[in-house]
Amino acid sequence: MFRCLSLSLCLVLGSSAFAADNKEQSRLENCAVVMEEILDVPDNIPQELLEKAECVIVIPSMTKVAIGIGGSYGRGAMVCRSGKAFNGPWGAPAMYALEGGSFGLQLGGESTDVVFLVMNNRGVDALLNSKVKLGGNASAAAGPKGRSVEASTDASMRAEILSYSRSRGLFAGVSLEGTSLRPDDDATREVYGRKLSARSIVTGRGVSVPASGRRLVDVLEKNAPHNESTKTPSR
């Protein structure tokens, strides 16, 4: 009987671990779907900005709920260019979480896909160090959209992080100041099967792109290929 109980416990724990692993891998695969769909939208993220971005963060289905006290929560992945200057090919993804809150008389809820472009080394370093509050630890702005950045404001062009959202089929730049981004170490461990920090994935060598993250990396390589000669130095 003891053997049966031990076997049952092993099966339950194994099933739970498998389910968690599948959940995080599915989330990573969904990041690729969201990025593909956003890049297919007319007047989407300007090509010039995507090519200059050092990292891209995709948060599928960020949930915003408000019943007196509002909050936002979402989980996704960050992919950065390789190399010391972040101007090489796109590397392996690190899992990230977005959190935020607001107060006041409010009621309702919605789900939104969010994409962040990290435009310089300061933004990347802040995200790799710890939890980052947008507009606090890192300057953030609603990203301009369209085929070019000619109509962009100086404020958006000076920002370390540019943000975009897609809700109910509508795509636009959006300000998410006050929300926070942090490495999701538990999710990263589920994806890679071992403990890895976001910094070790982004800046280290020997971390291969997992099968569940290959599609996202391929989408970025296709739409913003590695080209050192055209990438301007980080600000």
- Segments in the chain below pLDDT 50: 1-20, 68, 103-108, 151, 155, 230, 232-235
Cα(46)–Cα(16) distance, integer angstroms: 42
Q: What is the pLDDT of residue 35?
A: 96
Q: What is the pLDDT of residue 80?
A: 97
Q: What is the pLDDT of residue 145?
A: 84
Q: What is the pLDDT of residue 148?
A: 58
pTM, two decimal places:
0.82
State the angle between helix axes of 2-39 and 185-192 in degrees (0 to 180), rounded to the nearest 10: 100
Q: What is the pLDDT of residue 32?
A: 96
Q: What is the pLDDT of residue 68?
A: 47
Q: What is the pLDDT of residue 152?
A: 54
Q: What is the pLDDT of residue 96?
A: 97
Q: Which of 228, 235, 225, 233 is nearest to 50 (CA)?
A: 225
What are 126-177's pLDDT values in tens digits? 999 889 999 888 899 999 887 656 545 554 568 899 999 988 778 888 888 8
**Residue 225 CA: distances (Å) to CA of 48, 51, 174, 197:** 11, 7, 25, 26
What is the longest distance spanned by two Cα atoms in the chain? 73
